[in-house]
Chain A
Amino acid sequence: MGLLSRRATCNTHGQDSSYFQGWQEYKKNPYNEVNNPNGIIQMGLAENQLCLDLLEPWLMKNPDALGLKRDGISIFKELALFQDYNGFPAFKRALVDFMGEIRGNKVSFDPNHVVLTAGATSANETLMFCLADQGDAFLLPTPYYPGFDRDLRWRTGVEIVPIHCTSSNGFKVTLPAIEQAYRQAQKRKLRVKGVLITNPSNPLGTTMARDELYLLINFIEDKQIHLISDEIYAGTVFTSPSFVSVMEVLKDRNLDQTQVWERVHIVYSLSKDLGLPGFRVGAIYSNDPVVVSAAIKMSSFGLVSSQTQYLLSAMLFDKKFTKEYMSENHKRLQKQQKDLVSGLEKAGIRCLDSNAGLFCWVDMRHLLKSNTFEAEMELWQKIVYHVKINISPGSSCHCIEPGWFRVCFANMLESTLKLAIQRLKSFVSSIAMKSQSHQELKSLRRKARNNWVSRLSLQSFYDREQDTTTEVSFSYRPHFMSLSNIAATLDAAA
């Protein structure tokens, strides 16, 4: 009879995807060093747990911030009553300073352009409500964060059209790919309202190059559309190249105060950099006063707790602390990422070269039975249920090439990471041993790498168009192989 809304009964929330299913499997059998050493190790959750020990001593030294006091005097009443959607001024001030600091102070932000929201999840949805209507579309480079399917589309009615990126150039955004996506949207009779990028990228763990950013700005200028840059991982850039925010590029090109300036919006959050997802602190930054004004009103539906705004305003104001924290954060992220990368290498598995984020984009194509998403799912299930590691399959991130996985490294102890790598190593060895035509495949593969052009079969949970290589005009490193239907071999070469 349709008593509930279509939103409540459809599955646009996307939670039937493997991204969430792996999570559920983990919850049924979670690894614990003491209580459940054979459980599933969670490597599908992009959390930053490496620096919480730095936050705790700060809290102990600053009891007023927690105790809802200012100079020893209780401000409980003031905070309890503070529900102004314009946000706690001291917190907004401290937040924009922190955002500036993360960007090496190459750009500065105006607190009047900030809208506080309950996490980036809320910020992204709110921006959609401000910039697009039902029947409009946003272009997103693939692979992208699975949560976007829900956050950008579910209640807003907006569509996502993918900008397909491939391993041939390290998954960078190219002009033909963007234009192809734009045409695709038009074919589907969707009005393109903008492009949304995550920079640094989730799941790639890479920062966008300046030329990618130029490309994007030129594109949105030309099409007169919006650009949303989700910079939630901005503080996790642990090695060069250093982070270049889209704001920096606009400034360098003297585009402040032009029309495009007002069409570029940033999303931020303290969930990844500070490791505080539970506190629900996100922000929209926009140079368009109409957007800021509308988003502020909409933020009523997801305000940040004043208790939390107060705590974090105190913490972020402590510039000595934030400087130390960011430096240590980068060091630890870099070390843990290195441990993962080298561990995977020893298992014969390579990653995309990355300099940011809380995860690596891991190449397991050589472990697939066939170059298909079914084979990817099969491999994924083996890894979750047998190897007992929860990782995120590329298909859940809308990657168009089967065999890529996102593997998180910042949400566990070094010892757990070691164990996970051991398990993977054993698994890969066991595959190799099972394969009878091991040597044959090895030779085949070398040939393939030099000669073959892969035919991509794009079967997955989501509708996708078939790509034809003739349409793309960029230089294309002849790359990968099309594997026949026999067991994959072990790549012995590091």
Chain B
Amino acid sequence: MGLLSRKVTCNSHGQDSSYFLGWQEYEKNPYDEVKNPKGIIQMGLAENQLCFDLLESWLAKNPDAVSFKREEQSIFKELALFQDYHGLPAFKKALVDFMAEIRGNKVSFDTDHLVLTAGATSANETLMFCLAEKGDAILLPTPYYPGFDRDLKWRTGAEIVPIQCSSSNGFQITESALEAAYQEAQRKNLRVKGVLVTNPSNPLGTTMSRNELDLLVNFVTDKEIHLISDEIYSGTVFSSPAFVSIMEVLKDRKLENTQVWERVHVVYSLSKDLGLPGFRVGAIYSNDPIVVAAATKMSSFGLVSSQTQYLLSAMLSDKKFTKEYISKNHKRLQKRQNKLVSGLEKAGISCLESNAGLFCWVDMRHLLSSNTFEAEMELWKRIVYDVKLNISPGSSCHCTEPGWFRVCFANMSEDTLKLAMQRLKSFVSSITIDNQTHQDLKNMRKKNRTKWVFRLSFQSFHDREQGER
């Protein structure tokens, strides 16, 4: 009878995707060093668990921040009543300073342009509500974070059209790919409202080059559309090249106070850099006062708890602490990523070279039984159920080439990572032993890598067009 809304009865929430299914399998049989050593190791969750000791020791030294006190005076009442959607001023100030620090202070941010939201999930959806509606489309480079299918489309009615990127150039965005996506949207009678990029990229773990950023700025200027830069991983850039924010590019090209300036919006969050996803702290940064005004009102639907704003304003105002934290965070991420990369190498698996993020983009194409997404799913299932590692298959990230997987490294202890690598190594060895034409394949793969052009067959859970090279 249609008693519920269409939103509820459709499945645009995207939670039937493998990204979430793997998560569910893990929850049924989670690895625990002591209680369940044969359980599934979670490598599908992009969490940063490497620096809690730093946060805990800060908390121990700063008890006022959690006990609603300011200089030993109780401010409980003030915080309990504070529901102003403009946000706690001290927190916004501390947050913009932190954002600038992450960007090497090459850009600065104005608190009046900042809108606080309950996490980046809320920030992205809110921006969509402000910039697009049913019949509109937003272009996203693939592969992209699976959650975007829900966050950007579900309740907003907007569509996503992919900008297809490939391994041929390290999955970088090209002008032709942008144009192709734009035309694809037009063919589908969708009005393109903007481009959304995640920089540093999830799932690639790479920062965007200046070339790519320039390309994007030119493109959105030419088409007179928006550019959203989700910079949620900006504090996880652990090696060169250094992070270049879209804001820096606009500044360097002297585009402040031009039209395009008002069409570039940044999304941020403390969930990845500080490892605090439970606290629900996100932000929209926009130079368009109308967007800021509308988004501020919309943030009523997902405000940040004043208790949490206060705690984090104290923490982020401690510049000595944030400097130390950022530096140690980078070191530990780099070390852990190195361990993953070398561990995979020993198993004969290579990764996309990366300098950021909490994961690697891993190339398992050589382990596929065929160059298809069915084979990718087959391999993924074996890895989840037999090898007992939950990793995210590229198809769930809308990758156009089968065989790529996102593998997280920052949400576990070093020992667990070691164990995961051992399991993977055994698995790969067992495949090669099973495989009678092992040497053949080895030779073939070498040839492939240099000569062959892949024919991509796009079978997966989601509809996809055949790409052309």
Task: Point out the residues of chain B lying under 8 angstroms from A6, CB to CB.
Answer: 133
Q: Mark B287-330, 1 if CB is under 8 A from A, else 0.
A: 01011001001101111111110010000000000000000000
Is B367 located at the chain interface by the 8 A CB criterion? no
Is B76 located at the chain interface by the 8 A CB criterion? yes
Given contacts A66-B67, A294-B8, A307-B278, contact A59 B129 (CB under 8 A): no
What is the predominant secondary structure among interface residues of chain A facing chain B?
A: helix
User: Which single member of B68, B82, B83 contacts A59 (CB below 8 Å)?
Assistant: B68
Whether A4 pairs with B291 at a CB distance below 8 angstroms is yes
What is the predominant secondary structure among interface residues of chain B facing chain A?
A: helix
Q: Which of A82, A136, A276 has the most CB of B within 10 A?
A: A276
Given contacts A7-B129, A301-B122, contact A121 B301 (CB under 8 A): yes
Whether A49 pairs with B294 at a CB distance below 8 angstroms is no
Min C-beta distance of A381 to chain B, whole Å: 24
Chain A residues 448 to 491 lying within 8 A of chain B, measured CB to CB, are none
Whether A76 pairs with B302 at a CB distance below 8 angstroms is no
Given contacts A55-B76, A80-B279, contact A8 B130 (CB under 8 A): yes
Task: Point out the residues of chain A lying under 8 angstroms from B294, CB to CB.
Answer: 4, 7-9, 13
Min C-beta distance of B441 to chain A, whole Å: 41
Count of chain A residues near B, Cβ 8 A: 71
Q: Mark A148-168, 1 if CB is under 8 A from B, else 0.
A: 001100110000000000000
Q: Name the CB-closest residue of B to A191.
A: B2
Is B384 located at the chain interface by the 8 A CB criterion? no
Task: Point out the residues of chain B lying under 8 angstroms from A288, CB to CB.
Answer: 4
User: Which single member of A66, A130, A224, A278 contacts B81 (CB below 8 Å)?
Assistant: A278
Q: Which of A52, A68, A81, A305 has the most CB of B within 10 A?
A: A305
Whether A82 pairs with B278 at a CB distance below 8 angstroms is yes
Stretch at the interface among B52-60, B169-177, B350-358, B445-453: B52-60
Is A111 located at the chain interface by the 8 A CB criterion? no
A278 to B82, CA, bound (A): 5
Whether B303 pairs with A118 at a CB distance below 8 angstroms is yes
Given contacts A300-B150, A307-B307, contact A291 B13 (CB under 8 A): no
Whether A81 pairs with B150 at a CB distance below 8 angstroms is no
Whether B280 pairs with A5 at a CB distance below 8 angstroms is no
Task: Point out the residues of chain B lying under 8 angstroms from A150, CB to CB.
Answer: 297, 300
Is B159 located at the chain interface by the 8 A CB criterion? no
Whether A302 pairs with B275 at a CB distance below 8 angstroms is no
Q: Name the CB-closest residue of A to B274.
A: A80
Whether B131 pairs with A67 at a CB distance below 8 angstroms is no
Whether A278 pairs with B131 at a CB distance below 8 angstroms is no
A47 to B77, CA, bound (A): 12
A291 to B122, CA, bound (A): 20
Chain B residues 179 to 226 lying within 8 A of chain A, measured CB to CB, are 193, 224-226
Is B79 located at the chain interface by the 8 A CB criterion? yes
A27 to B158, CA, bound (A): 37
Whether A76 pairs with B52 at a CB distance below 8 angstroms is yes
Whether B76 pairs with A59 at a CB distance below 8 angstroms is yes
Is A129 located at the chain interface by the 8 A CB criterion? yes
Task: Point out the residues of chain B lying under 8 angstroms from A80, CB to CB.
Answer: 52, 55, 275-279
Whether A290 pairs with B305 at a CB distance below 8 angstroms is no
Min C-beta distance of B262 to chain A, whole Å: 9
Min C-beta distance of B11 to chain A, whole Å: 10
Whether A81 pairs with B56 at a CB distance below 8 angstroms is no
Given contacts A83-B277, A83-B278, contact A279 B4 (CB under 8 A): no
Task: Point out the residues of chain A lying under 8 angstroms from B81, CB to CB.
Answer: 47, 49, 52, 275, 277-278
A1 to B191, CA, bound (A): 12
Min C-beta distance of A4 to chain B, whole Å: 6
Is B6 located at the chain interface by the 8 A CB criterion? yes
Is A90 located at the chain interface by the 8 A CB criterion? no
Inter-chain residue pair count (beta carbon < 8 A): 219
Is A15 located at the chain interface by the 8 A CB criterion? yes
Task: Point out the residues of chain A lying under 8 angstroms from B79, CB to CB.
Answer: 278
Whether B297 pairs with A15 at a CB distance below 8 angstroms is yes
Task: Point out the residues of chain B lying under 8 angstroms from A59, CB to CB.
Answer: 67-68, 76
Task: Point out the residues of chain A lying under 8 angstroms from B305, CB to CB.
Answer: 118, 278-280, 304-305, 307-308
Whether A280 pairs with B304 at a CB distance below 8 angstroms is yes
Is B433 located at the chain interface by the 8 A CB criterion? no
User: Which single member of B66, B118, B226 contacts A301 (CB below 8 Å)?
Assistant: B118
Task: Point out the residues of chain A lying under 8 angstroms from B8, CB to CB.
Answer: 129-130, 290-291, 294
Is A119 located at the chain interface by the 8 A CB criterion? yes
A215 to B278, CA, bound (A): 43
Task: Point out the residues of chain A lying under 8 angstroms from B308, CB to CB.
Answer: 305, 307-308
Min C-beta distance of B175 to chain A, whole Å: 22
Task: Point out the residues of chain B lying under 8 angstroms from A3, CB to CB.
Answer: 131, 193, 224-226, 263
Chain A residues 118 to 144 lying within 8 A of chain B, measured CB to CB, are 118-119, 121-122, 125, 129-133, 136
Is B63 located at the chain interface by the 8 A CB criterion? yes
Task: Point out the residues of chain A lying under 8 angstroms from B298, CB to CB.
Answer: 154-155
Q: Mark A75-115, 1 if CB is under 8 A from B, else 0.
A: 01101111100000000000000000000000000000000
Whether B80 pairs with A275 at a CB distance below 8 angstroms is yes
Min C-beta distance of A259 to chain B, whole Å: 10
Given contacts A130-B5, A155-B155, contact A66 B68 (CB under 8 A): yes
Q: Name the CB-closest residue of B to A279.
A: B305
A308 to B279, CA, bound (A): 8
Task: Point out the residues of chain A lying under 8 angstroms from B132, CB to CB.
Answer: 5
Given contacts A4-B290, A118-B301, A307-B308, contact A81 B47 (CB under 8 A): yes
Min C-beta distance of A446 to chain B, whole Å: 45
Min C-beta distance of B249 to chain A, whole Å: 21
Min C-beta distance of A368 to chain B, whole Å: 32
Using A81-B275, A301-B121 as known contacts, list a sample of 12 further A-B pairs with CB atoms less than 8 Å apart, ordered by residue number in A. A4-B131, A5-B131, A8-B294, A49-B81, A52-B76, A59-B76, A68-B59, A80-B277, A119-B303, A303-B118, A306-B280, A307-B305
User: Could you show 9 A-B contacts with beta carbons less than 8 Å apart?
Assistant: A7-B133, A130-B7, A226-B3, A279-B305, A300-B151, A301-B122, A302-B302, A305-B305, A306-B280
Q: Which 9 A-B pairs have the closest CB atoms?
A: A278-B306, A306-B278, A302-B302, A305-B305, A8-B294, A294-B8, A278-B82, A82-B278, A277-B83
